[in-house]
A and B are shown apart, each in its own frame.
Chain A
Amino acid sequence: MAKKVGIVAGSISRFDNPRHTLQEEMCAEAVKMILDEVPDLELGDFVKKGYACCYSYFSDILEQQQCMHWIINDYLGLSAVPCYRVESGGATPIDAIVNAALWIRSGMFPAVLVVGWEKMDELPIQKVNEAIAIAGDTDWDFVSGFTYNAFYATMEARRMHVYGETEEDLAQVSVLCHNNSLENPYAQWPAQHGFSKITIDDVYKSRLISWPYRLYECAMTSEGASALLLANEETTKKLTDNPVWISGVGFGSDTMRAGDRPDNPAWKGLYPEDEKIWPKHVPAPMSPYPDLCNFGALRVSARMAYKDAGIRNPRKEISLVEIFDPYAGVVLAGLEDFDFCKRGEGKKLLREGVIQPHGELPCQLSGALTAQGHAVGSTSVAQVVDVYWQLSNQIGKKWGAPGRQLSKPKKGFIHGHGGTGCQAGAVVLEV
């Protein structure tokens, strides 16, 4: 099988809210950067050489436009090019990348352009929350009065109860992400709040959203666009001297409603080693993993991607990680579900500084969803671009911040998910 899928180029049109610029214009900004970087790429090649496009955006409701990708495809001058849209809530952009990589591996297309974007400023904030929350079950989740803030908060309350995570752990994750974003010229946090470091007291002073989560521990709502040009080995080598390879992809799923997970027979016995890790002071549900503490879909997607990439020991082999963190606690849960530590020990990696920029396993170097921003369809595309720039030694050039370039990273892991972990995707990149 033609297994190698290369990243030829990646780009971001920055996250902010509002941007006021139209989706198609932000997408054009991103794709223009790729064209500037790859002089041998012509938009006419897409038809001539049989390339395709895979578009990523989450909501038709946020700007009341269905089939937005038809506008984008037309605007980019790509009429006649085979294209479609991937949509799976928050997992949309990672699934678009996984999908594009599988297209290339199938041998059907030598190259695929992935473009992701979102527009989120048009509705009043309550209606934005509502538009996002109706990705939850509108008969059984949403009309209980809970938004996603509340569902993730209940899950974190359970992590605190079962694993002993603390409010300080959550605040420390938030500090890490915000301070990581300060030199990122594509990030929303510095665009809106300036370039000074924050402390845990700043997090504590931010307003309570849904206990235990405070404003700075929740994803921003953002606008922005990003793009990735993926290609098979031959085309990648023709178009760039500095390729990074997508060596593994994976995706997985879980129940629509988080409340259906504790006794779900589908999980029973799937990860017996995790089922054994359960404290005596809490009655164990029938399926102790993932319960409401962890994200089974994340585990499935990560192990699939590791297997695909031939990774045996993720903790040792992976140099940097971008976790899709709509809420701070997902970073800690993710570290566990991605096998960087045992369940319940995510907080240990945080407290020991392992995930700091100069730690053994730097995480969220972009600032991720709480600080780089969360223009849903663009989010994981941008996170993959951030890791791609690290692996191809381009942070100095792309950020104008050479100090933020890691020294010779080898492999990166990026994950995305939607809903309360209803669907997840993961990719492994390597130089």
Chain B
Amino acid sequence: MNGPTDSRLRGWLATPVARALLALALMLVIGCVFNADGAFFRWSVHRDMLRQVSVFGILACGMTVVILTAGIDLSVSSVLALSAVGFAWLTLPMGWPAVWAIPAVLVIGTALGSVSGMLVARMRIQPFIVTLAMMVFARGLAKVVSGGQKITNYVTGADGVAHLVPMPRIFGLIDSRVVGGNVSIVTLVFLACVLATWIILARLRLGRHIYAVGGNEEAARLSGVPVARTLIVAYALSGLMAAVAGICQAAQEMQGDPETGMGYELDAIAMVVIGGTSLMGGKGSVTTTLIGVLTIGYLQKILSLNAAPEATRLMLTGAIIICAVLFQRGRDR
């Protein structure tokens, strides 16, 4: 009864990518039904969704790498805030040009990630605890750098008098759109992060090491995988992505806010697991994370288009995360 094409199709449908795509397709169907008087059919709605989801998506890329090692990185939201504050501080009161400020912020993010990685890999402290501590620490550091205030272009000069400085061009540039206003720069940054992560995971030796360490750390060690180095690099990558996200966040908000990004780590984790990446490590991919990012992005967009109240939105998001994960797991446990 089952022709060969039929069975091949069934085989494909059982793959995580196919399931994640089905979930996304379902979300799009829901969007078409609750289309808010045709708003859902306008490209600008999709463009805005992509822009709004980009910062989360960048965090989710780094999170995917860490979760694949059977770890977790709770500190991404705070590293994002620190990076946003750091970027604003360097470019506004300090007046650094962007070509210096951007690398400096990226280095700081990577360094904080490496510290987490070092504590996980060498001190053998659990990732949850290490990154929880790093989350608190980086948030504190952001407040120290900013003096507890939002850093804006209203700068106190040497004479003690506050005055407006012009906003550096880089802020507007990152927040702008290209291709006739159809694609945001932050979305392109997000897609570049997805591509970079994909290359690392699917094409580089490092990626194999990440999967092996997450799948069975002891077996990886006995196979000659440099386990500690792999873990440190994974957390460093997550820190780097958080710094990238922080710069985008600062540009979009036109300021460095030490309170920004609270709770973003949870959204990032949700996007990763909806895609089917296992919190147990060793199983998953960034492709499914991309699909997970879009799924949650559309969910939020549809809810806001239909003017769902905040409370409904939160409850529905929670319920849908569980449904998506159950659907993803299917029958093979």
**Is A bound to B?**
no
